[in-house]
C-alpha cells in the first residue's frame, strides 16, 4: 500500500493539471539517450527568445519611437539609465547569438534529415521568417545611418512586385518615404511579434513531442529513451552556461564586435553611406539579392533562398535517415556550409570584379545544393546496396520496404501537401 502511495501517480506533478503538462515537456518526456551537442541549440534558441523579450521590454520603457528623438533616446539608455548599457548590449549582441543558434539548428536538421518531421520543420521555417522580420524592424529603431538606409533599401525591394509593388511600399512606409510613421509601425511590430514567436515556438515543440526527437544514429530510439530530467536538463544547462558566458564576455570586453560603426551616426536622408550592408546574419541573402542584375529576379532569388526550406519535406526519403554514414552527402553538406560562409563574406565586399562573379557563382551553388542533396542519398545507397539493388526501381522498392511511403511515387504532390497539414 505504501509503495502505491509513494508511486509516481500521487506525485504533485501528476495531480496538478498545469504541472502535469509542464512535466510532460520538461521532466518525464522520453528522450533518446544519444542526443549530441547539436540537439542543444533548440533550448538555446528558447533562452535567446526569453532573453531578447526581457531586455527588450525593459528598454522599451526608455525608448522613444519618433524620428527626432529615437537616436537620442538610445544614447540616453546607454548613458543615463541604470544598467541601460548592459541591457542594450545584451539585446544587440543577443540577436547575433539568436541567428548563430538558428543556423546551427537548421544545419543540424539538414544533416540528420530532421526536415522529415514535417510539421515541426514547417513551423520552424515560419519561426525563421518571423525572426528575420523582427530583427530587421529592430535594427531600424536606433535610427542611425545604417538603420535608415537599410530600411530604405529593403522596403524598396517590395516595389519590384509587378502591379502592386509601388502601392505596397507606400503602404509599408505609411507615407512617401521611410519616416516617422515607418519608425512607429516598425516599433509596434518589433514589440509585439516576439510574443507571436513565443507562441509559435510552443507549437513547434508540441509537434516535435508528437513524433519524438530524431537522433544522431538515424534509427528508432523508442527502446533506448531516458526521461528528460535529469539527463537533458543538465545537458541543456551546460549549453546555456557556455552561451551566456561567451555573450557576457562579448558584452563586457567587445560590445561592438558585431555592429557597424556607421550606425553611430544619426540617420540623415540627405547623405547615403558609401557601403550599405546588413548585419552578418543577413549577408548571405544580401549577396544572393545583389548577384542578379534584374531587380525582380534579385528579389525572387532572395525570397527563394529562404522559402526553399519549406519544400525539403517533399524530398523522397533515403533508406538511412541522415548523412552520418554517407560520405557523399557529407561532402556536399560541408561544401554547402562553405558556400554559405563565402556568400556571407561576399555580402561585405563591393559589387565589383572579382566579388561580383564569385557572389553569382556561389549564389547558384546555394540553390544547386537543394537539388542534388537527395541525389547523393540515391547514388550512395545504390552503391552500398549494389548486391540487392540493381536499378532505380529496385531502389524505390527498397525505400517502400523501410517506410510506409515514398513521397515521389505513391502519393501525388497534392496528397502529400494535404497530408502534411492533417
Is 209 annotated as a binding-site member? yes
Is 105 annotated as a binding-site member? yes
Q: What is the dihedral of CA 309, 212, 330, 342, to 10 degrees?
A: 40
* Residue choice 39, 63, 158, 333 for contact with ligand HEM (CB under 6 A): 39
Residue owning grid cell 522520453: 30
Residue nearer to ligand HEM on the CB measure, 201 or 301: 201
Residue nearer to ligand HEM on the CB measure, 207 or 385: 207
* Residue choice 14, 86, 103, 128 for contact with ligand HEM (CB under 6 A): 128
CB atoms within 10 A of CB 260: 20
Q: Closest separation between CB of residue 306 and ligand HEM, Å?
A: 9
Does residue 112 bind ligand HEM (CB under 6 A)?
yes
Summary count for the chain: helices (H), strands (E): 17, 2
Q: Which three cell numbers stand for residue 233?
A: 536538463
Interface map 299-328 toward ligand HEM (x if CB under 6 A): ----------x-------------------
Q: Residues touching ligand HEM: how many (CB under 6 A)?
A: 30
Give the residues across from 32 on adjacent strands: 225
Q: Closest separation between CB of residue 367 and ligand HEM, Å?
A: 17
CB atoms within 10 A of CB 185: 15
Q: Closest separation between CB of residue 119 and ligand HEM, Å?
A: 9
Residue nearer to ligand HEM on the CB measure, 134 or 146: 134
Instruction: Give the distance between the most distant pair of CA atoms in the chain.
Output: 82
* Residue choice 29, 31, 49, 301 for contact with ligand HEM (CB under 6 A): 49
> Are the C-beta atoms of residues 33 and 27 closer than 8 Å to each other?
no
Does residue 136 bind ligand HEM (CB under 6 A)?
no
Is 91 annotated as a binding-site member? yes
Does residue 121 bind ligand HEM (CB under 6 A)?
yes
CB atoms within 10 A of CB 150: 24
CA-CA distance, 13 to 174, in Å (whole number)? 51
Cite the active site residues.
209, 213, 235-236, 279
Give the residues across from 227 on adjacent strands: 30
DSSP 61: T
Q: Closest separation between CB of residue 200 and ligand HEM, Å?
A: 7
CA-CA distance, 4 to 134, in Å (whole number)? 51
Tell me the three state secondary structure of residue 32. Answer: strand
Q: Specify the stretch interacting with ligand HEM by CB under 6 A; choose among 52-60, 120-128, 331-339, 372-380.
A: 120-128
Cite the annotated binding site by residue number: 91, 105, 190, 204, 209
Amino acid at each position: 500500500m505504501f509503495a502505491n502511495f509513494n508511486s509516481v501517480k500521487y506525485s504533485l506533478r501528476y495531480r496538478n493539471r498545469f504541472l502535469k503538462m509542464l512535466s510532460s515537456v520538461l521532466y518525464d518526456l522520453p528522450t533518446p539517450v544519444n542526443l549530441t551537442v547539436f540537439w542543444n541549440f533548440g533550448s538555446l534558441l528558447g533562452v535567446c527568445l526569453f532573453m531578447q523579450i526581457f531586455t527588450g521590454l525593459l528598454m522599451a520603457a526608455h525608448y522613444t519611437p519618433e524620428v527626432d528623438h529615437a537616436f537620442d533616446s538610445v544614447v540616453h539608455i546607454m548613458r543615463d539609465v541604470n544598467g541601460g548599457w548592459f541591457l542594450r548590449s545584451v539585446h544587440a549582441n543577443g540577436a547575433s547569438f539568436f541567428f548563430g543558434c538558428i543556423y546551427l539548428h537548421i544545419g543540424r536538421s539538414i544533416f540528420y534529415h530532421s526536415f522529415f518531421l514535417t510539421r515541426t520543420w514547417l513551423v520552424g521555417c515560419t519561426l525563421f521568417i518571423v525572426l528575420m522580420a523582427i530583427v530587421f524592424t529592430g535594427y531600424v529603431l536606433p535610427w542611425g545611418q545604417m538603420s535608415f538606409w537599410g530600411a530604405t533599401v529593403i522596403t524598396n525591394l517590395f516595389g519590384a512586385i509587378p502591379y502592386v509593388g509601388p502601392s505596397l511600399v507606400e503602404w509599408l512606409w505609411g507615407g512617401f518615404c521611410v519616416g516617422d510613421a515607418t519608425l512607429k509601425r516598425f516599433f509596434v511590430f518589433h514589440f509585439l511579434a516576439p510574443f507571436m514567436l513565443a507562441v509559435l515556438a510552443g507549437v513547434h515543440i508540441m509537434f516535435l513531442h508528437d513524433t519524438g526527437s530524431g537522433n544522431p544514429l538515424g534509427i528508432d530510439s523508442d527502446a533506448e529513451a531516458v526521461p528528460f530530467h535529469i539527463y537533458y536538463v543538465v545537458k541543456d544547462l551546460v549549453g546555456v552556461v557556455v552561451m551566456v558566458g561567451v555573450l557576457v564576455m562579448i558584452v563586457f570586453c567587445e560590445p561592438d564586435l558585431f555592429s557597424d560603426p556607421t550606425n553611430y551616426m544619426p540617420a540623415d536622408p540627405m547623405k547615403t553611406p558609401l557601403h550599405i550592408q546588413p548585419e552578418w546574419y543577413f549577408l548571405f541573402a544580401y549577396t544572393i539579392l545583389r548577384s542578379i542584375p534584374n531587380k525582380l529576379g534579385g528579389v525572387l532569388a532572395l525570397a527563394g533562398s529562404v522559402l526553399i526550406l519549406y519544400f525539403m519535406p517533399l524530398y523522397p526519403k533515403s533508406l538511412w535517415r541522415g548523412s552520418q554514414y554517407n560520405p557523399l552527402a557529407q561532402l556536399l553538406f560541408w561544401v554547402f556550409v562553405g558556400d554559405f560562409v563565402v556568400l556571407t563574406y561576399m555580402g561585405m565586399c563591393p559589387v565589383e570584379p572579382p566579388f561580383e562573379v564569385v557572389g553569382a557563382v556561389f549564389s547558384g551553388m546555394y540553390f544547386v545544393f537543394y537539388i542534388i542533396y537527395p541525389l547523393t542519398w540515391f547514388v550512395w545507397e545504390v552503391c552500398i546496396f549494389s548486391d540487392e539493388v540493381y536499378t532505380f526501381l529496385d531502389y524505390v522498392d527498397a525505400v517502400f520496404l523501410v517506410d510506409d511511403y515514398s513521397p515521389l511515387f505513391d502519393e501525388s504532390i497534392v496528397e502529400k501537401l494535404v497530408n502534411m497539414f492533417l
